[in-house]
Chains A and B, each alone.
Chain A
Amino acid sequence: MHRGNHYYGHSAVLARYCGLDERTPPRIHGYLQHGWNIGDGLAADHEFVAGTPVFVWSERTRRRAYALGRHATYVVGAPWAYLLRMAPGRPAAREGTIFYPFHGYEGQHVVGDHGALVAAIRRTEPGPVTICLYWQEFRSSRIRRRYERAGFRVICHGYRGGWGTDVDPGFLDRQLAELRRHRRVASNRLSTAIFYGTLAGCEPAVYGDPMQLERESGAFGGQPRIRREWPELHGEQVDPAVARAVVTAELGADRLLPPGELRRMFRWPYADPTEETAP
């Protein structure tokens, strides 16, 4: 129903979970939340077809969306949490920090002092640092070189994809593989990557200049509210147990659906009921 359902290969991951072909995930009859969000789960400019359900990640988001007048919602949890359930990690040697500088997206670029951020990262991180840039920033050799010159490894997970274009079922797999190599996950804003990293076993940290989006609206309270509402996830050192509990709730990792129910909610085809056991 919306290109956002395919971002980051989300529909592909869920199709895989449901035992369907991830290369051609069926249409999700609803709108799937595609990033951590302090509003109703979807982007502010998201278009809606009346009566179409919104599939949100967490119970908190559902309650908030309901209070904002969006009642046709259902908590399914983040595709990321399904991916982790399908690919339980083996304990592996983890080293260093993967840092996700706050990124813009296709419509809005980010404005900020990358130099100051580099300095903050250097000051804070004792081990090797991987910088993961969004494809927009990664394509800018100016921004990329700035981090490279600081001795950081610079990577990009790829395109997030869209309507039949650049759909990348492997996006989250690559991100998971990277996260599992690192001991810490950090960013200058509390954002989706921090949640993903924490659930994948990294110790989270949020510090440094949070930067600005062009024409950043500050809807739903913006950065001040995020700091106020989740203070326990901010700082150079964060209690991993507390963080894990918060992250589990925010990603709905404690309330994932069995495949049969997920297919039912998405109106996806389902086959044999004996396959209805969660992987």
Chain B
Amino acid sequence: MNPTLTGEAMPAWSDLDGTPGPARGAALAPLVATATGRTLVVGPHDPALLDAVPADRLTLLVRGVPDAEALAARYADRPGATVTCGSLAALTADPAYDTVIALDGLGRLSSAEGADLSWGAAFERLVGALAPGGTVLLGVENLLGLHRLVALPTPPTDGGWSPADEYDPTRPAGLPGVREALAAGGLDVTRAYAAFPSPVAPTVLAGTGILADPDLRGYLAAVLAGACAPLSGVLTDPARLVTRALRHGAADTLAPAWILSARRPSAAAPSALPARSASPVSSGLPEVCAVGAAGRSDVHRAAGGGWIRRTGGDTSPVPAGPTLADVLLSRVARHEMPAVRELLRTWQDGDAADVAADGVVVGPDGGLTALWPAGEPGAALRAFAATLVRSGLGAAWPAATGPELAETLARMAGTDLGQASGHPDSHAFDELAAERDRLTAELAAARAKARWYEETLSATEGSLREARRTVELLSATGPARLGRALVGGARAARRSARAVRRHLRTVAAR
């Protein structure tokens, strides 16, 4: 199969290779698996995802010729598959598709060879391609997402020939704006997910409704912090930011991207304006889809209420309650040290001893459920010590706020860390600044203490000299003592006696 090249195809451009790469990841698989009928995929999507699109008739639109050729080669033997190369302008206004997939969003659909489409214009074209009864899967990057809030300044890339994103007035404002745009386009939103930790390669999709469920706060914090943790070279720790966002009901507001599934009512259905999805219709999609070391975990509502998660073939209830880290931090913040000792002991005596406190949920009965895999022995305590320092709560233990804190925690739990030492490295700039301040204070304290040692040592040496003189005087034999006193020793004896008196006075004063 040869790709259909339009005039706006970019001969030397690839979105599939390089950074940031195509929309990808197993977390997106359940979404593309819902595609039916004539399906259009616009923008760069990982071929592994495209393989999973079950539709018989598949049209792919990419702007780079090398990408188009690679895809054409890959799907040469797939009946009903076509590849078009160019911008979104290549789409006819014909509402021909039952499913439109744009998980990469609308940002990489314009060509350097053609006009730039605003978000609104691209959106219009996209939904215009949707047949009645059809479904669109749309990804929207949140330009105020935590991935951007924590990012260091980056040099411009070749893709930024007209980087209008931030200043595009047609771009919807926040998730409510995206919902409004879909509603205005005559679509019913059936699902809305917050995607973490990055727009192109999310590993967690969480339904915006479930993010507000207080019972699942701990589970979600563990999953989201786990997803955000690997980022490095940041202004502030994204895992901590996402945990805080969750705590303050802003996890969807700060999500790096949103992915929505919306449906155009079929012609037969009443054409009234669709409700703004106050109660999204369940379409069999999971509420949470999280990809971790143990594979993909899908959370669904259980038949009898509550939530269940399926990992591989295993099904288990989603643990309700806060994370162990949250419980510990709140206790430390209130200086409830007996409770902190108790919790640390329970944690370190149990099966979850080597699982980081951020990845453990404390159930209503106090039982611990580990959601993260176990790490090296001692690493979990060290990580929690680092969390304490990061949260500004390390000062609850005076003079042990650095790496020493982990050993103190171990002692509180009735154990010890042995010889291994170290402190999880931090690459976040705010933590580096805080660490600098801590070290400055520690150095000042160490200097003050050194001065005190110096003074104490001098005083002790003085006392020792006087004591030696006294001993010398008292230990000499009788005639020698007499001789010394007589032959020029009188002065020495007087001095010694004075010293003894002074010494005794000092002692008495203490």
Contacts and interface: CB of A to CB of B under 8 A. Distances in A.
Interface of A: 1, 3, 29-30, 49-54, 59, 62-63, 71-75, 106, 162-163, 165, 254-255, 257-258, 260-261, 263-265, 270, 273, 276-277
B6 to A, nearest CB: 68
Contacts of B266: none
Interface in B18-77: none
B411 A74 contact: no
Contacts of B449: 49, 51-52
Contact of B408 (A3, A30, A254, A264): A264
Interface stretch (B160-168, B359-367, B412-420): B412-420
A72 B394 CA distance: 11
A260 B510 contact: no
B398 interface: yes
B399 A72 contact: yes
Contacts of A63: 335
A270 B509 CA distance: 34
Given A30-B398, A106-B509, A273-B415, 10 more contacts: A1-B452, A49-B448, A49-B452, A51-B449, A62-B335, A73-B398, A255-B337, A258-B341, A261-B341, A276-B411
B400 A276 contact: no
B250 interface: no
A254 B441 CA distance: 32
Given A1-B452, A260-B416, A276-B414, A265 B408 contact: yes
B398 A261 contact: no
Nearest to A74: B398
Contacts of A276: 411, 414-416
Nearest to A54: B398
30 contacts: A29-B399, A30-B398, A49-B448, A49-B452, A51-B399, A51-B441, A51-B442, A51-B445, A51-B448, A51-B449, A52-B399, A52-B445, A53-B398, A54-B398, A74-B397, A162-B510, A255-B337, A258-B411, A260-B411, A260-B412, A260-B416, A261-B408, A261-B411, A264-B408, A265-B397, A265-B400, A270-B411, A273-B415, A276-B414, A277-B414
A75 B398 contact: no
A51 B444 contact: yes
B267 interface: no
Nearest to A72: B398
Chain B interface helix/strand/loop/mixed? helix
B338 interface: yes
B338 A258 contact: no
A59 B446 CA distance: 27
Given A71-B395, A163-B510, A276-B415, A255 B445 contact: no
> Counting chain A CB atoms within 10 Å of each CB, which of B395, B399, B415, B446 scores highest?
B399
> Counting chain B CB atoms within 10 Å of each CB, which of A30, A52, A54 scores highest?
A52
Contact of A50 (B415, B448, B510): B448
Contacts of B414: 258, 260, 276-277
Nearest to A262: B411
Interface in B336-355: 337-338, 341
Interface residues of B, number: 29
B411 A50 contact: no
A123 B82 CA distance: 108
Contacts of B448: 49-52
A255 B342 CA distance: 11
Nearest to B335: A59
B440 to A, nearest CB: 11
Contacts of B507: 165
A214 B460 CA distance: 32
Interface in B486-510: 507, 509-510
Nearest to B459: A163
Nearest to B414: A276
Interface string B416-452: 1000000000000000000000000110111011011
B398 A264 contact: no
A277 B414 CA distance: 7
B8 interface: no
Given A1-B452, A29-B399, A255-B337, A264 B411 contact: yes
Nearest to A165: B507
Contacts of A255: 337-338
Contacts of B441: 51
Interface in B175-217: none
B399 A75 contact: no
Given A62-B335, A277-B414, A50 B444 contact: yes
Interface in B295-347: 335, 337-338, 341
Contacts of B396: 74
B287 interface: no
Contacts of B416: 260, 273, 276
Contact of B338 (A254, A265, A270, A273): A254
A117 B335 CA distance: 41
A75 B335 contact: yes
B104 interface: no
B358 interface: no
A163 to B, nearest CB: 5
A144 to B, nearest CB: 21
B445 to A, nearest CB: 2
B237 interface: no
B359 to A, nearest CB: 25
> Counting chain A CB atoms within 10 Å of each CB, which of B411, B442, B452 scores highest?
B411
A66 to B, nearest CB: 9
B116 interface: no
Nearest to A71: B395
Contacts of B395: 71-72
B466 interface: no
